[in-house]
Amino acid sequence: MGSFPIIIVLFGAIAVFLILRLRSVLGKRVGFEKPPIPQGQMQGFATGPILDSRPIPPPPGTRAVPDPRSALGERLMEIVNADPNFDPPVFLAGAENAFRMIVTAFAAGDRPTLQGLLSPSVYQTFDSAIAARETAGERHRTEIKSIIAATIEDAQLISNQAAIIVRFVSDQVNVTLDSS
């Protein structure tokens, strides 16, 4: 019972030695570090939190215009040459607005708006779908949350008239309600 635990004293001495040794080394420059930047030269650097460096997806509403050197780009240039006022990004913005109007008019069953925006054959398809919905006593609601992308897929100039196919990728909420 009277023996003194020498091993604890030995471990304590080793711990004190390591702490003092680390304290003398940590925080000292040994020649491999870059010199600190003076305060006056820090203005070109961003302040605030460091942001995540993962690639971010394109923002909603991205409008993809083909490269003018591609085959599709060359066909678009033919349209530009025929109509100098034609601007593909402006066209895509207008097509996006028309898409919103068409989807909204279809959901509401607004035939006059659809007739003004669609070709006769496409209008007939929409009109048939609206008539079938009305016959079944259904109502339809659509909310376009966002248009993720609008891309020109094909373009042709046919005897002074342009035919352009645009693909839309959108985030929508569609609800069909029955008569009850």
CA 73, CA 90: separation in Å to the nearest integer? Answer: 15
pLDDT at 22: 86
Which stretches of the chain drop beneath a pLDDT of 70?
1-2, 27, 29-33, 36, 39-65, 180
Residue 109: which of 137, 140, 145, 136 has the closest Cα?
140
136 within 8 A of 178, measured Cβ to Cβ: yes
CA 163, CA 108: separation in Å to the nearest integer? Answer: 27
122-137 confidence digits (pLDDT tens):
999 999 999 999 998 8
16-51 burial, b at 16+ Cβ within 10 Å, e below that, comes to eeeeeeeeeeeeeeeeeeeeeeeeeeeeeeeeeeee
91 part of a folded domain: yes
21 part of a folded domain: no
Count of the separate structural domains present in the chain: 1
CA 47, CA 168: separation in Å to the nearest integer? Answer: 39
pLDDT at 140: 87
**Domain, as residue range, for 90:** 62-177
131 part of a folded domain: yes
3-state secondary structure of 146: strand
113 part of a folded domain: yes
97 part of a folded domain: yes
Residue 4: which H helix or E strand, with range?
Answer: none
pLDDT at 104: 92
5 part of a folded domain: no
pLDDT at 48: 54
For residue 116, the 8-state DSSP code is: H
Task: Decide: pTM greater than 0.85.
Answer: no
CATH of the domain at 104: 3.10.450.240
pLDDT at 17: 92
pLDDT at 55: 47
